[in-house]
Amino acid sequence: MLLRDLEVLIAVAEQGHIGRAASQRALTQPAVTKAIQRLEAEAGHPLFVRTPKGVVLTVEGDALLRRAREVRLALEQGRREINDLAAGHRGEVRFGLDPNLVTFFALEVCPHLPTGESAARISATTDSNQTNADALGRGELDFVFGAYPTSLQKGLAFETLVEDRIVVIARSDHPARMLPRPEARDLLAYSWAMADAGAFSRLRLEHTFSQHGLAAPKIGFESNSLPLILATVAGTDLLGYQPRYVLLDQARDGSVAELPTTGVDSPRIIGLLTRDGGYLPPAAATVCDVIRLRATARLVPVRDQGS
């Protein structure tokens, strides 16, 4: 199978249309059709089915698409490795960062990274752990620094660095503090300030309530901005659900603190997500080494208070 034909396969699959794929690849439609026909002849099976709106992959076509993407990613990594060898530790590091770890990375990791003309250019993408994991799988990122993803897809490997706990947080004079270690049922009376739907902490909170046979908690405020969530919790009766290190790093003024509860806390594992057996550029490996050192030194989990 020719690499250029596999590239055409990827384009047609992504566009779902022969004409649009031809435009993307700067080819004629007959050339795209012939490339697909060559692949089908070699595979011995049809790869696409025509529909009124375009084309869709067959089961066999989907299998070949996955392999084609693996081939493209391997070649891209090979080219990058060659360039890295020529440039030493220079280049670009592309990684995904858990929003809850932004302050930690800025204050604890950045000051220890190499600087100067030969230092790598660092590009950080702040998004949900699952979104970052998906981008890593597609080869768009070198690694992800964050929590264990909702599901670990095939081809990725997770290295555990520290384990913390996600806890209920509230303002210092919140009415719930009058309760002796409230349970999930006691907290149904309150609304919550949470990250957007799909965020790890929100999924864990909903799962915890479900395990207790309770309806999902009411979300009174949602945002992808951690400082905004903390400020909202500090100024209202809304509860929050955040890792303990967030309190250590971003809520030091005491306006927001952990609300001791029974059966509501959840474990949260922090580490590095990489492609299993994939190429990790030297500059990215250096950043990972710094993260390992600073995480084990600074992201020390607080002992659970009586649970």
**Domain boundaries, given as residue ranges, for the chain:** 3-83, 91-162+269-298, 164-267
Give 57's strand partners. Answer: 48
Q: How far apart are CA 77 and CA 178, in angstroms?
A: 57
pLDDT of 88 reads: 57
pLDDT of 118 reads: 67
Span between the terminal Cα atoms of the chain, in Å: 59
pLDDT band at residue 90 under the 50/70/90 scheme: low
Checking if the pLDDT of 149 tops 80, the result is no
Name the least confident of 6-10, 86-90, 125-129, 149-153.
Answer: 86-90
Per cent of the chain over pLDDT 90 is 40
pLDDT of 188 reads: 92
pLDDT of 174 reads: 95
Cβ(22)–Cβ(36) below 8 Å: no
Which CATH architecture is the domain 91-162+269-298 placed in?
3-Layer(aba) Sandwich (3.40)
pLDDT band at residue 300 under the 50/70/90 scheme: low
CA 57 to chain centre: 27
pTM higher than the cut 0.85 = no
Q: Give the alpha-carbon dihedral of 42, 43, 44, 45, to 10 degrees.
A: -140
Q: Do domains 91-162+269-298 and 164-267 have the same CATH topology?
A: yes
Top-tier CATH class for 164-267: alpha beta
Checking if the pLDDT of 87 tops 70, the result is no
Give 295's strand partners. Answer: none
Give 237's strand partners. Answer: none
Domain spanning 3-83: CATH 3.20.20.70:
no
